[in-house]
Structure 1
Amino acid sequence: MKQGLQFLLLIFSLTALAQKGNMDTAQVVVPNRYNSTEAQKKPYVIMISADGFRYDYAEKYHAENLLKFSGEGVRAEAMLPGYPSITFPNHWTLITGLYPSHHGLIDNFFYDYKRKEGYAMSNRENAEDGSWYGGIPLWGLAEKQGMVAASLMWVGSASNAGGSRPAYYYPYHEKFTPSEKVDKVISWLKLPEDKRPHFISLYFPEVDGSGHHFGPDTKETEEAVHLVDEAIGNLVQKVNALGLENVNFIFVSDHGMVKVDGGSPLEIPALLFDKNRFDFYNSQTLLRVHVKNPDKVKRVYKELKAGKTDDYEVHLDKKLPGYLHFSTKDDRYSRIGQILLIPKAPKIFLEKGRKTSVGKHGYNPRLVPEMKATFMAWGPEFKNNLVVDEFSNIHVYPLVAKILGLPINHPVDGKLKVLKKTLKAKK
C-alpha cells in the first residue's frame, strides 16, 4: 500500500465520528428473522454508497472497476442530491425515497422546537433513535414483507426507524477497512437461504474524508477513489464466486465536493448573535436562522437583505425555489428555520476563530455542478450499455423495491417511471 494511502487511512481512523469513547464493533443480529419461501426466490440487491464520490470522479480518476461494471450495465450522467447536499439528509433520502424536508433529516445537525431537543449526527443516542427519522427505509420495507436485510454503517441502520431494524447491522464506526467490509458482506451471502439477506446496504466514507481534508483535485482523493474502486472489484469477484443467481449492484453517492474559499470566509451578520432573538445553525454552505418571535420574521429578513453582500443570498424559507423542496410547505417537522442565508460557491460562512476544511458540499446542485452525485448499476435485472440523463436521488428507492418485488404501500416522493427504463423487460 502506498505511503500516502496509509496516511489517508490513518486520518480517517483519527477523525471517525464514532471513535469518541469506546465503540462496540460487534455485529448485531436481530433474532427470529427469516426469509419467506417467496422471498428466497427473489433477486438480491447490494446497494453501495461511497460518500462524497462526485459524479465525475470515476472518469477523472479512472476508477477501472466501476467504469467497467457500469459500462456493461447502467450509469447516469449524474444524480442530483436533495437540498442541502449533505451526508445524513441524502443517505436517508436514498434509503427512503423522500426529500430531506419530508423525512426530517434536514441537516447533519438541527434543533426540533416541538421536541425541544437537538439532533447531531455524531451523537450515537440520536443516531440510533428511530423517532428522529421519517419514512420507511428499504431494509424496513423488506423485513416487513418477509425478506431478510442487512446493513453496514448506512445512516440510520442502527435505529428502529420505520419500525424495523435490518436483521444484521453494525453500530456506526470507521474501524473496518474496505476489504473487511467486503468480507462481511460475503459472510452474509454465505448464510443458509432462509437467513441470507436479499437486500444489503453498504457504506464507504473514504472519498468524502479525503475530499474534505485535501480537496477534490488532489492525489489523496484520487487514491481514495482507487481504494473504493478496488473494494468494489473485490466484492464483485467474491460475489460471483458464490454462484448465487440474480445478484444486482447499485453504486451511489450522497453528494459531490468542491474546493471552498476558506481563506476569506463570509462573516455571519452581527445581529444574529443576539441569542435572545435568534438561533442560527451554520453548516458553512448554508446558514439557517430561527427567529424566536415569529412576528418579527419579515423585519429581520429585510434587515438581513439590506446588509448582505454579493457573495450570498437571503431567502425567506417560504420563498425558496420550489424545485429544492426545502420551503415552509415542505418542512413537515418544522426544523428548517424561517430565513436562509445561502453563500455562493466557493464562499462559506465561518465564525471567527473557527477552522474549516479544504473541500465542502451542501450547495444547490442545480447551480453548483460539483455537488452532483454518482449512480451506476449492473446485474441481471439491468439493461446493458445504457447511459441515462441526470435524475433526482429520490427515485432510487422505488427502483430497488421493484427489483426485490416489494410493493410500496406508503407515500414516497420517488417515482418508478423515472428509472424503470434501466431494467430489462420481463419475459
Structure 2
Amino acid sequence: MAPPLKLTPSSQSEEREGLLSDVDTLSFIEADESKYSSSSDTITLLSIGLAALPRIAVVVGTLLGLVFGLLYWLPAPQSSIRTLHFNGDTLRSNGTHDFKRTVLLVADYLDRGLTPHLLDISKKGLRAKFMKPVFPTLTFPNHWALMTGLYAESHGIVANNFWDAETDSEFHYNNITSCWQPHWWRGEPMWETAGRAGLITANLMWPGPPETFSGASPTYFVPWADKVSLDVKLAQIMDWIDLPLSKRPQLILAYEPSLDQAGHATGPYSQRVNDTLKYVDAFARDLHSSLVARNLSDIVDVVFVSDHGMTDTSHPELLYIDDILGEEGWQAVEHEDGWPSMGLHFNPSANTSHYLDVLLAAAADNKEKFNVYTPQTMPERYHFGHSARIAPIYVIPNMGYVLTTRKEGDNHGYDNNEPSMHAIFVAHGPFSTVAKAIHHSQSTSHRPRWLSNPDKGWHSTSDATYVMNGFQNVEIYNLVMKLLGIEAQATKTNGTTGFWDKYL
C-alpha cells in the first residue's frame, strides 16, 4: 500500500499560465474529508493521488480507470469465448481473488518514436485513427464531453472561462468557489450513471465538480493537485484495484496534466514535451506490468484517450481585436470568453449590431485569418450555437493565427476538424480482444468481410495493428455504459445509438 500523499493546494493563474506553467499546485482546495473520504482505512482519498494518467494526443491526456462488464453476442473464435461471457456483474478470478470487469483509460502521443511501450500496447490491442474532440478544443469542455457524451452546447461548459448572462456570473476553471458550483455542469457524468446503477466509483482530479446538481458524488473523490508523481498515482491505482471486492471501484476516473503543461509552456515539439512523453511512456509500461503481475490481462481493459490535440503556435500571426474594434469598441466589451477564440459580450449600452458589422467586414477582408459568427450563424458541425452561455459574437481564428489585444500578448482551441486538434484512443484488454476476434471471425469466414470495410468501423489493419475509424469523443460515454453492462440505466447523449455494436 503506498503511503498517503498530502496534496497541498495553492493558487494558479489562467490556463494559459496555470495549466501550462511550472507552479506547484492548482487553486483547487481540498474538499471536506468527512464528505468525500472513503470509510475504508485503505484509502484516504483526499491525500492520495489516484491515477493521473498522461493526457496525450498531441499534448493532452486523460486517464479514465474503469471496471465494467461486456455484453457480447456476435460469434467469435473459440479462444475468445471466455472473454465474451465476462459481463458487468460476472466474477472472474485472477487466481487468488474475484474481480469484475476493470478498465483504465489513458492517453499519449503514439508516433513520435518516444512512446514505445504505449505504441506496443496499441499494436497488441487496437487504436482509432483519431478521436475528434468537441468544439471548442479546450480542456474543460472536452473532459466534460468525455464524461457526459454531450457537446459543449448541451453540457454547458462552453470554454475554460466564460460568463453566463442568465446568472450574471462567471465560470473560472481554476477557482473552486466558481467551478465547483454544481449548476455549471449540465448532463449526467458516467460516474453518476454508474452510481445510480449501484456501482462503486472513484474520481481522481477529473475536471468537474465533486457533486452534481442532483446531489450525486463519486464514492471516492480526490481534488486536483499539481506536481504529483506518476509513481504515486500508479501506486494509488493499484491500491484501488487491490481493494476487497466489496470496496473496489468499478469505475475509476483520473487526470494527468503534465503533457498539457509542457506543451503550453514550450510548444508541442519541444524537448520538454519529448522528455514528458518518455516519462509518461514509462508509466504506461509500469501500469501494464503491474496488471500482468496480478494476472489481470483478461480482466482489466486499459484504454488511452486525450481530450484534444495541440498545434505549434511558437510563431503565430497575432490578430489584435482591439485594433479591429477600435479603442471605443474594445472598451465596450464587458466580458471576453475563451481563447484562442474570443466570445464577446458587449455592455448593454453599446451598439452591438454596429460592432458585429465591423467584425464581419474585417473577417470578409481576411478570410484566411478568422471568422465571425453569432449563435444563429455558427456552423452546425460545431454544435455550438444552442446555449444561452455562448457569447452573442464569437470570433474564431484559423490555424496559425491568435486573437489577442495590444495589452496581452495559446496553442489549442481551434477548429475541431483540424488534424492537429484530434485526440487519441487506444484499447488493450478484454474489449480489444473481443473487437479483434469479431473482426477476425468475420474476415476469415464465408460471410462478407464487412468489418474490413472502412465504412464498417475499421480504417486499416497491418502488422497485427487494428485501427478503428476516427470517431467523436461523445461516443466514449456509451462505450463505458456498454462495458459496465448498465446500458439500461444510461442517460441520453449526443453519441450515436448502436455505435459500438460493430465492435462488440
Specify the TM-score bucket, using the shorter chain as the normaliser. Answer: 0.7 to 0.9
Counterpart in the other structure of 2:336: 281
TM-score, length basis structure 1: 0.84
2:421 and 2:473 map into 1 onto residues whose CA distance is: 13
SS of the residue 2:253 aligns to: strand
Amino acid at match of 1:402: K
Letter in 2 for 1:343: P
Over 3 Å counting, the alpha-carbon distance change for 1:249 and 1:161 in structure 2 is: farther
CA RMSD after TM alignment = 3.0
Query: 1:348-363, aligned counterparts within 5 Å?
Result: 348-355=402-409, 360-363=411-414
The equivalent residue for 1:246 is 299
Name the CA distance, whole Å, in 1 between partners of 2:144 and 2:121. Answer: 25
1:88 aligned residue (140, 144, 148): 140
The answer to whether the Cα contact below 8 Å between 2:136 and 2:413 also exists between their aligned partners in 1 is yes
**Residue aligned with 1:95, SS:** helix
Task: Provide the aligned length of Structure 1 versus Structure 2.
Answer: 397
Give the counterpart of 1:393 among 447, 450, 473.
473
Contact 2:132 2:470 in 1 (8 A): yes
2:423 maps to which of 373, 378, 384: 373
Aligned counterpart for 1:169 among listed residues 221, 231, 239: 221
Aligned to 1:110: 162
Over 3 Å counting, the alpha-carbon distance change for 1:229 and 1:422 in structure 2 is farther
Q: Could you tell me whether the CA contact under 8 Å between 1:158 and 1:172 is conserved in 2?
A: no
The question of whether the paired residues in 2 share the 8 Å contact of 1:82 and 1:99 is answered with: yes
Alignment partner of 2:124 out of 65, 72, 76: 72
Taking a change above 3 Å as real, the CA distance of residues 413 and 142 of structure 1, as seen in their structure-2 partners, is: same
Deviations 1:57-108 (A, max 9, x none): 3112341121111111121111110000000000000011000110000000
**Is structure 2 residue 413 aligned with structure 1 residue 345?**
no
Q: Which amino acid aligns with 2:156?
A: G
1:364 pairs with 409, 415, 423, which one?
415
Question: Do 1:93 and 1:393's aligned partners in 2 also have CA atoms closer than 8 Å?
Answer: yes
Q: CA deviation at 1:400?
A: 0.9
Q: Distance in 2 between matches of 1:389 and 1:294?
A: 50
Contact 2:301–2:431 under 8 Å retained in 1: yes
Deviation at 1:301, TM superposition (A): 1.9
215, 232, 239: which one pairs with 2:284? 232
Match of 2:281, SS state, is: helix
2:486 maps to 1:414: no
Q: In the alignment, is the contact (CA less than 8 A) between 1:280 and 1:287 conserved in 2? A: no
1:14 corresponds in structure 2 to 22
Equivalence map 1:41-56=2 (5 Å): 41=91, 42-48=100-106, 50=107, 53=108
Matching residue of 1:7: none
* Structure 1 letter corresponding to 2:309: G
Aligned to 1:370, what secondary structure does the other structure show? helix
* CA distance in 1 between partners of 2:118 and 2:125 (Å): 10
Deviation of 1:47 (Å):
2.3
What do residues 235-255 of structure 1 show as CA deviations (whole Å, max 9, x unaligned)?
122123233462112210011
Q: State which of 353, 356, 377 in structure 2 corresponds to 1:301.
A: 356
Closer/same/farther in 2, CA of residues 234 and 283 from structure 1, 3 Å limit: same
Shift of 1:276: 7.6
Contact 2:150 2:495 in 1 (8 A): yes
The aligned counterpart of 1:325 is 383
What is the deviation of 1:281?
Answer: 1.7
CA contact (8 A) 1:95 1:138 kept: yes
SS in 1 for 2:104: strand
8 Å CA contact 2:25–2:227 kept in 1: the answer is: no
1:174-208 deviation line (CA, Å, top 9, x unaligned): 13111111110111111110110111112111111
Preserved CA contact (<8 Å) 2:134 2:152: yes
**Structure 2: distance between partners of 1:12 and 1:47:** 22
Q: Distance in 1 between matches of 2:325 and 2:377?
A: 24
How far the C-alpha of 1:165 sits from its partner, in A, is 1.6
Question: Structure 2 CA distance, aligned partners of 1:391 and 1:271?
Answer: 42
| Distance (Å, rounded) in 2 between the aligned partners of 1:207 and 1:21 | 19
Greater C-alpha Rg: 2
Tell me the alpha carbon deviations over residues 285-307 of structure 1, each in whole angstroms, 9 at most, x when there is no partner: 20111244599554432121123
Task: Name the CA distance, whole Å, in 2 between partners of 1:231 and 1:135.
Answer: 32
Alignment partners' CA distance in 2, 1:39 and 1:295: 60
8 Å CA contact 2:240–2:248 kept in 1: the answer is yes
From 467, 474, 484, the equivalent of 1:404 is 484
**Which residue pairs with 1:267 in the alignment?**
320
SS of residue in 1 equivalent to 2:431: coil
Structure 1 letter corresponding to 2:469: D
* Structure 2 residue 201 is the aligned partner of structure 1 residue 201: no
Query: For structure 2, which runs of at least 5 residues remain unmatched after alignment?
Result: 1-18, 41-66, 68-87, 92-99, 437-464
Per the TM alignment, residue 129 of structure 1 is displaced from its structure 2 partner at its CA by 2.2
Q: State the match for 2:37 in structure 1.
A: 29
Post-superposition Cα deviations, 1:127-185, rounded to whole Å, max 9, x if no partner, equal: 32222101111111111111101121111153335532211121111131111111101
Moved over 6 A (4+): 24-27
Give identity over the alignment, percent.
28
**Offset from partner CA, 1:11-57 (integer Å, 9 cap, x none):** 97833561x4976798942559xx9xx74744122223x4xx5xxx3
Whether the aligned pair in 2 keeps the contact of 1:78 and 1:375 (CA below 8 Å) is yes
8 Å Cα contact 1:45-1:247 kept in structure 2: yes
1:353 Cα deviation after fit: 3.1
Give the unaligned 5+ runs of structure 1. 1-10
Shift of 1:318: 1.2
Give the letter for the 2:422 counterpart: K
Name the CA distance, whole Å, in 1 between partners of 2:240 and 2:171.
32
Q: What is residue 181 of structure 2 aligned with on the other side?
A: 129
Q: Distance in 1 between matches of 2:151 and 2:381?
A: 11
1:119 aligned residue: 171
The change in CA–CA distance for 1:173 and 1:21 in structure 2 (over 3 A counts) is closer
- Please name the residue that 1:5 is paired with: none
The answer to whether the Cα contact below 8 Å between 1:81 and 1:372 also exists between their aligned partners in 2 is yes
